[in-house]
Structure 1
């Protein structure tokens, strides 16, 4: 729902747990489309139904081989209906299938470093996608393991 519609209807923007309003995540441009990737660090939760929280960092692919896991999943419906809270309260809208996978793979007591294409590649940036998609075989090969 857009801010204009919310305002006209008298509906407040969704609040991020912790008090601040949810703002869309802004992707930082990759330092190099050919050698850098983004990796998300999924925060732990003992509550399986708790909101998904993460931080996203740029990494040089050759320097982090074996230090992250990648997720292989079906995108399913293209509807971005679920939320991933990241980097201090920003939100990335994700598919229900990715949301379900991240919840399933989230640890209870420790962070988990994950590469998931829908989050780690800026889907709104055609130029970035044109460089990152051909890197995907290498990204999967460099992962510690592929979670399915």
Structure 2
């Protein structure tokens, strides 16, 4: 990413003058899995008019990393500007983007937009953050799907989760 690019701020995409306003993220397709996350952020309403109504979206729940500065962050592009996000969130977004390339038909219906709190909520604006965190339940309910990213898990866990999903009904597991 060109370091001379300006930094993204929430002022670039302000929330609507509506108590149910949120931001949604669109991750642009990539040629290679490791390509930089290039995103578009929009502001919509959960209960607005047709012009501001939120499109169908997914929500991403991921493991927030500790405040340990050695863990790192990553720069992504948001509306053509650079933004620093947690490494764990960048990895979760990369995995989510990869789902669109999956041959597994259960992932073929992935929504065009996604809500991810670390980007869609201005973490440095305490009044906004307080309101938006209070709306998270509504956001998750409105989402078409909620993707839970556990981060890097030990070998074998992924296959255990796949088996649990496949046999959830006969095992009494509800995923």
Q: TM-score, normalised by structure 2?
A: 0.67
Instruction: Flag structure 2 segments of 5+ consecutive residues without an equivalent.
Output: 48-52, 102-109, 149-175
Q: 2:63 aligns with which of 62, 67, 74?
A: 74
How many Å separate the matches in 2 of 1:82 and 1:112?
23
How many Å separate the matches in 2 of 1:96 and 1:27?
20
What is the number of equivalent residue pairs in this alignment? 128
Task: Determine if the alignment matches structure 1 residue 95 to structure 2 residue 86.
Answer: yes
Instruction: Flag structure 1 segments of 5+ consecutive residues without an equivalent.
Output: 1-13
Q: Which has the larger radius of gyration?
A: 2
Superposition deviation, residue 92 in structure 1: 1.4
Superposition deviation, residue 111 in structure 1: 8.1
Q: Is the 8 A contact 2:15 2:44 kept in 1?
A: no
Q: TM-score, normalised by structure 1?
A: 0.78
What is the aligned partner in structure 1 of residue 117 from structure 2? 117
Q: 1:55 aligns with which of 40, 48, 52?
A: 40
Q: Is the 8 A contact 1:33 1:131 kept in 2?
A: no
How many Å separate the matches in 1 of 2:65 and 2:83?
17
What is the aligned partner in structure 1 of residue 76 from structure 2? 84
Q: Is the 8 A contact 2:26 2:40 kept in 1?
A: yes
What is the aligned partner in structure 2 of residue 64 from structure 1? 54
Superposition deviation, residue 22 in structure 1: 2.5
Higher relative contact order (CA 8 A, sep 6+): 1
